[in-house]
Amino acid sequence: MKNSQPLAAKAILTAAMLPGVLLVSAMSTASAATTYTWKTSPESSDWDALTPNWTNPAGQTASWADNPADPNNALFPSGTARTIALASGTRHANDVTVNAGHTFLGNGLLGVAGKFTVGQSMTMRAGFAGDSVRIGGSANKVLTMNSSSGTQKTTYLEDGVILAVVNELSFGPKPASPSTSIVVSGGSPVLQAGNVSWGANRVIGIAGGAALGFGAAKNKTNAFKGTIRAEPDATLGFATNSTVQTSNPFDWYGTVAFDPGAGNTNDLGRLNVGHNLKLASGVFRIGCGADGATQANAALYVHGNGSGYLEPGAGNCGLLTVDNAELLWTQTGNNRYADIRGFAQVVVTNNGCINMPNCQWLHINSRLDVADGGNVSLGWIRLNGNRDTSVVNLEEGGVLRVNAIVIEPRSDKRGRMRFNGGRLQSGKGQSDFMRSTTSQALTEDNWAPFRFEVCEKGAVFDTSNAYIYWSRPLTSGVDEGAIDGGLTVTGSGISFGAVLTCQNFYNGPTTISNAIIQARTDYALPTNTVLRLFGGQNARLYGYDFSSRQTTNRLSRVEGDGVIGYTDYLSVDGALAPSCGGCLEFSGACALGGDFEIRGDANTCGYVKVDSGIQDLSTLSLAVADMAAMRASHGPYVIFEGNYSGRFGVPDDFPSDKWIPRYRSGVVYLAPVDATVVVLR
């Protein structure tokens, strides 16, 4: 071998080396310095057993041990960690294996034709050369890259190595146009960063069968604006043990933020979230590709460690935020599902969207918040909580669309669904919209732990798409003595409606807007509720199965314009307030009491119509509501149509000097005083 070093040094080096191995740890006796330099001169920059371009701590050059069988593979064996300096230029080797915690530094570049394998955690401050490099290594072994040099365009990650980066330029310069920067080609490597902002033109690809753990170091932020492309069998994971060392598995509070920009798309395989992940802007597709349709597995899995408290940012919970972004699952015809469990939380807000209508179910064992323009569309929701924190919050501006809400009927399961101004939609009409996961009936004993609460801003049932069959009690979720927001049922006409088949206990108003409520049991509308109807013939209340007890379905007030059907056993004991120009139409006579509030303008007036039976008017007293615009020149105003008995009461404060009720066959008018009324029949 070519060698110019002193004989004694040569003897130490040669005796300690194995064939094909550079044993850098054996060179510690010559000097206190610990830096070993791999030079590009005097003869070659290649890894070669015969080239004397290595300098030990004593400044002595040496050749590598001869390994004729594999002379181009570099192996740094286990032992004392050293500093490996690369002078200017590029070193070339085939496979490079590092089994000690060395630090590579310098202005030089390392060109690896084969694979760079990390056997022990180490640091790379020098750069990799070429258009690509393969990096792999043992699970939980960390390769820290904090160099801003390098020319490679693609980094291939394999095995279970953790790649910790402090600058996105560790992967070479930012590409001028979108191109793949990182490819996970096998195994379950981890890409972990600390306060790194990835440019929009960075691309991460995950091959089928591979899994990538992606996250931020403790108390750091990993902001990613690029694109992730995952094949159907691929997994993008945000679990704790894939982002930090297992010695402290739940000690991570970083945030991962995806922001590919409006109109751009991130393609993900399965989405596994164990800590803080924020989807911001752009479209995120999960479960993509034809192969994904055959997998009966969770398309979206957000989880914590199953203990502790649910607090955003805490190290023991998963938090997925969809903020002004769209998360799609496009596959059909399979058994994929979504899962939120173990003190995890999903927040959909600021016009964010989770659109997974073909998921068989979403398992709620922790918390789902939909608010402020957020929109969630799913197959059905499965409420299966085992703690009080299992909750669905449907806040103002949020929309939740499902085909069914399913409960596991067991006394040890509990949870809440809170309506606070958000909108519940039915994906399709079915008689078991509220149903059990088994054939067991949902009796009071086994559904009692699940509460459906109407909060300050109320519950909204949107029946524009299909019926909502609601068979669980709606209770009040506000403080004792306060009034909740009540129930509002909306729609696009009378084709669909909300069917209430159980007694309800909210204390706010019941509003029907261009929709139907079918009250199919006693107390379906809470006693003394205010009923508001808007939409004329398109706003209807039907009471199919009322009992013979009139007090069972008592309303304190009815206002607006709409139709109230099957009213034989319905009572109103507070007020009737038809809107100006509107009609409150009752299908039959019923017990009406209290005030009849008059509203009118120069052309029309609100009125009550009874289609059948003889309505007793003597229990109603005329009251002023808004009569300021009514004009005597208009002539008489109709305030009642139908057969009647008795006459309205006229209290002292009614303007009897201007208006007087006139009674004719089947009609009651409000006429100006001293006016002559001519009725042509």
Q: Which residue has the higher pLDDT, 30 or 200?
A: 200
Tell me the one-letter amino acid at 452.
Answer: F
CA distance 643 to 613: 7
The pLDDT of residue 619: 96
Q: Which value, in Å, is the radius of gyration of the alpha carbons in the chain?
A: 37
- DSSP 8-state symbol, 484: -
Q: Which of 490-494, 523-527, 548-552 has the highest mean pLDDT?
A: 523-527
CA distance 125 to 217: 19
Cis peptide before 42 (omega within 30 of 0): yes
The separation between the first and the last C-alpha atoms of the chain, rounded to the nearest angstrom, is 126
Q: Which of 165-179, 280-294, 579-593 has the highest mean pLDDT?
A: 579-593
Question: For the CA atoms of 147, 153, 158, 164, what is the dihedral angle to 10 degrees?
Answer: 20
Q: Could you give the percent of the chain with pLDDT greater than 90?
A: 35
CA distance 192 to 190: 6
CA distance 398 to 375: 6
Average pLDDT over residues 147-154: 71
| pLDDT tens figures, 228-260 | 888 877 888 874 332 222 222 333 456 778 888
**Tokens representing residue 436 in the block:** 């059990």
**Tokens representing residue 571 in the block:** 């009572």
Among candidate residues 436, 382, 380, the one with its CA nearest the CA of residue 410: 436
3-state secondary structure at position 82: coil
| pLDDT tens figures, 627-661 | 999 988 887 999 999 999 999 999 999 999 999 99
Average pLDDT over residues 426-440: 68
DSSP 132-158: EEEEEESTT-EEEE--S----SEEEE-
Phi, psi of 374 (to 5 degrees): -70, 145
Q: Which residue has the higher pLDDT, 307 or 584?
A: 584
Among candidate residues 403, 285, 272, 277, the one with its CA nearest the CA of residue 341: 272
Q: Where are the beta strands (DSSP E) in 342-500?
A: 345-349, 353-356, 362-364, 367-370, 375-378, 381-383, 386-395, 399-402, 405-407, 414-420, 423-426, 434-436, 450-454, 459-462, 468-470, 474-476, 487-490, 498-500
**Least confident range of 240-249, 356-365, 452-461, 592-601:** 240-249
Tell me the one-letter amino acid at 134.
Answer: R
Q: By the 8 A CB rule, do 154 and 207 touch?
A: no
Question: For the CA atoms of 504, 510, 514, 517, what is the dihedral angle to 10 degrees?
Answer: 30
Asked whether residue 159 carries a pLDDT value surpassing 90, the answer given is yes
The pLDDT of residue 570: 81
Q: Give the CA angle between residues 190, 93, 60 to the nearest 5°.
A: 110
Is 574 exposed, middle or buried, given 0-12, 13-18 or 19+ CB atoms closer than 10 A? middle
With a CB cutoff of 8 Å and minimum separation 6, the contacts of 326 are 282, 283, 284, 352, 353, 355
Q: Which residue has the higher pLDDT, 173 or 372?
A: 372
| pLDDT tens figures, 315-340 | 556 788 999 999 988 666 556 788 88
CA distance 632 to 642: 24
DSSP 30-68: S-S--EEEE-S-SS-SB--TT---EE-TTS-EEPPPP-T
Q: Which residue has the higher pLDDT, 383 or 596?
A: 596
Average pLDDT over residues 2-28: 31
The pLDDT of residue 300: 85
Half-sphere exposure of residue 54, counting CA atoms within 13 Å on the CB side?
22
The pLDDT of residue 537: 93
CA distance 595 to 574: 7
Tell me the one-letter amino acid at 329.
Answer: W
**Range list of H helices, 204-259:** none
Average pLDDT over residues 367-373: 94
Q: Which residue has the higher pLDDT, 441 or 475?
A: 475
Asked whether residue 180 carries a pLDDT value surpassing 90, the answer given is no
| pLDDT tens figures, 48-78 | 655 556 677 777 665 554 445 566 788 887 8
Asked whether residue 373 carries a pLDDT value surpassing 50, the answer given is yes
The full length of the chain comes to: 681
| pLDDT tens figures, 198-215 | 887 888 888 888 888 887
The pLDDT of residue 31: 36
Q: By the 8 A CB rule, do 161 and 138 touch?
A: yes
Categorize the per-residue pLDDT at 26 as very low, low, confident or very high, splitting at 50, 70 and 90: very low
Tell me the one-letter amino acid at 528.
Answer: N
The pLDDT of residue 228: 85
3-state secondary structure at position 291: helix
The pLDDT of residue 384: 74
**Tokens representing residue 628 in the block:** 């300021």
Asked whether residue 292 carries a pLDDT value surpassing 50, the answer given is no
- Output the average pLDDT for the chain: 79
b/e code 529-566 from CB counts within 10 Å (16+ = b):
bbbbbbbbebbbbbbeebeeeeebbbbbbbbbbbbbbb
The pLDDT of residue 41: 65
Question: For the CA atoms of 273, 278, 283, 289, what is the dihedral angle to 10 degrees?
Answer: -10
Q: Which residue has the higher pLDDT, 63 or 512?
A: 512
DSSP 531-574: EEEESGGG-EEE-TT--S-GGGGEEEEEEESEEEES-TT-EEEE
Residue with tokens 């989405």: 271
Q: How far is CA 383 from CA 107, 244, 474, 612, in A?
A: 58, 32, 16, 45
3-state secondary structure at position 26: helix
The pLDDT of residue 91: 82
CA distance 138 to 655: 91
The pLDDT of residue 296: 56
CA distance 473 to 452: 7
| pLDDT tens figures, 456-498 | 999 999 998 888 989 889 999 999 999 999 999 999 877 778 9
The pLDDT of residue 522: 80
3-state secondary structure at position 409: coil
Q: By the 8 A CB rule, do 185 and 220 touch?
A: no
The pLDDT of residue 1: 29
Among candidate residues 372, 332, 330, 328, the one with its CA nearest the CA of residue 354: 328
With a CB cutoff of 8 Å and minimum separation 6, the contacts of 460 are 419, 421, 422, 423, 424, 487, 488, 489, 490
Q: Which residue has the higher pLDDT, 114 or 365?
A: 114
Average pLDDT over residues 118-131: 90
CA distance 238 to 256: 9
